[in-house]
Amino acid sequence: MNFAWPAFLKWPAAIPQPAFLWPHMLWLLALLPLLVLLYAGLLRRRRKLALRYASLSIVRQAQGRGPGWRRHLPPLLLLMALAALLLASARPVAVIALPSNQQTIILAMDVSASMRATDVEPNRLVAAQEAAKTFLKELPRDVKVGIVAFAGSAQVAQQPTLNREDLVTAIERFQMQRATATGNAIVISLATLFPHAGIELQQLSPDRMRGGWGRSLDQPPPKQNEFVPVPPGSYSSAAIIMLTDGQRTTGVDPLDAAKMAAERGVKVYTVGIGTVDGEIIGFEGWSMRVRLDEETLKTIAQKTAAEYFYAGTAQDLKKVYQSLSSRLTLEKKETEVSSLFALAGALLALLAGGLSLLWFGRVL
């Protein structure tokens, strides 16, 4: 909840205005100007007393110059301490980056024949493998990672594990195949994240529209684990990163698969690699034109409350994975920071008392 600051306490325009859980407590800040007036009144009274007693003036002249600005510093620090404590009482909250509770990440990597294209040196597949290895090194050791490889079908190359050596071995074992099934990759990744949820490719097969799973219309559908859909992106314990260089040529519709991920709150970060306009490549005597379907990848990311990244070079791909590493290990959260203001107030009060004791032999 935002608070409308009083006119005499203008918040700097360059700094985002904080929010407070108890904003009405901020009206207590109006007491600070009264304390300043009280302090100024005490100083005037002290001067009048000094003039009334000439002997005190003679002693002061004999001692030389007075404490000057040092006399006002401890009260100023004490005033700042009170301001910090009053702000703490309003329970301020701020959006700060905190370690994420991300526990599992699935890397869904395209191993279709188009990944042999050399527009990304030395070729798309090798660049993707090297970037993925660097990504693994930068992740915290307590984050599990699974590998799903997909082309005409999708398979789990490595179950989620903390063992980085096993993950690197799985990445290095990639074998190219024909076709591209991006939708299958998402579904298999979800099935890996939720092994007991009954997620299957058949749930999104075209046969489902004709009675489902090859059944006659009078047969009851198979029993499935029921679940309650959640808001997209709300599942913070896992995420999927899908890298591909082509458009879907087989398998389930990737947008249907994205809807399945969104209903489970899982974010699907998509990474496009290669040329948007397309390129003709050869594979096992075949020639084909491969074209990056950016529109679908952007839609997948949008549906699941994630982001889309484009990598035109090997260096771009490494930067994308570095960016994803920071996004998945740190997340911005709205957090109460009352303790920080209380700590600042306590330190300022201690500093004010310490300086007063050092300079004048008394605590304020």
pLDDT-derived band at 211 (thresholds 50, 70, 90) equals: very low
Weakest-pLDDT range from 151-155, 257-261, 281-285, 309-313: 281-285
The two three-digit tokens of residue 168, written as one number: 């690197």
Structural domain spans, the chain: 22-92+337-360, 99-214+224-335
**Beta-sheet pairing, 154-161 with 238-244:** unpaired
pTM > 0.75:
no
Residue 150: enclosing H or E segment and its boundaries?
strand 144-150
pLDDT over 80 at 290, yes or no? no
pLDDT-derived band at 54 (thresholds 50, 70, 90) equals: low
Rounded distance between C-alpha atoms, residue 25 and residue 334, angstroms: 20
Compute φ and ψ for 111, nearest 5 degrees.
Answer: -120, 25
Taking 3-state DSSP, the helix, strand and coil percentages for the chain, each rounded to the nearest 5, stand at 45, 20, 35
Q: What is the pLDDT of residue 75?
A: 83
| CATH number assigned to the domain covering 99-214+224-335 | 3.40.50.410
